[in-house]
Amino acid sequence: MTHLSVNINKVATLRNARGENIPDVVRFAVDCERFGAQGITVHPRPDERHITRRDVYDLRKVVTTEFNIEGYPTDDFMRMVIEVAPEQVTLVPDAPGALTSSAGWDVIANSEFLSGIVTRLRQAGIRSSIFVDADSAQVKEAARIGADRVELYTKPYADNYTQNPDEAIGKFIEASSEALKRGIGLNAGHDLNLQNLSFFHKRLPLLDEVSIGHAIISDALYLGIERTIHDYLDCLR
């Protein structure tokens, strides 16, 4: 079964708006696991506008499923993740001030840099995942430099799903096949939701993990987090 990792950045954004500890990010993560989520994802940015460095350390103490830390591999970021030792680090190419991820890595152009990062993570016993567009050449290069997984950037799929689902999924199927051929794992994330996730999963049944945040937190405002997680898990069965 494809695992569901809940990105809790938006919970931290809400908490930070008041400068207190409501909602409690750590408790929310524990509840997500209790309701069936198989992982917790965070993306601590340098400006700490949502997840903070302290959150990362506090969450490491309580997350019992899979802890996935996303981020651009600056020296500070790498020192933190090697000390915290999550199960997975997802490398994203975002500039420090980016609102959200808007593209995958050009792994071919950055192969030397990323190869060194992947090697450091492997030496620390941490699984590496490289955030890429649905491009078989990028998947192939990620495998060549030693990444354990790739995470497919799914916003283009989400944007085109309502117009033509089969066309929207095409490049993702090709990228999935390349990952399988190269023997690396496959994750996916960005703008996946209750409307488009089931179709995506049926066409890419060998997905290891989807990471979903904004849609889950938004749906939880109406449905509650327990039912929301169950509904997303149903899409992955």
Phi-psi region of 224 (alpha: psi -120 to 50; beta: other; left: phi over 0): left
Q: Does domain 3-235 have CATH number 3.40.50.150?
A: no
Q: Give the CA distances from residue 120 to residues 111, 116, 117, 148, in Å, rounded to whole numbers and listed in that order.
A: 14, 6, 5, 13
pLDDT of amino acid 89: 98
pTM above 0.85, yes or no: yes
Active site (catalytic) residues: 43, 70, 190
Q: Which of 112, 65, 57 shows the shortest CA–CA distance to 87?
A: 65
Domain locations in the chain as residue ranges: 3-235
Contact 86, 51 (CB under 8 A): no
| Mean pLDDT per 10-residue interval, the chain, length 237 residues | 96 94 97 98 94 98 98 96 98 73 88 97 98 97 98 97 97 97 97 98 95 98 98 97
pLDDT tens figures, 152-208: 999 999 999 999 999 999 999 999 999 999 999 999 999 999 999 999 999 998 999
Instruction: Return the pLDDT at 101.
Output: 61
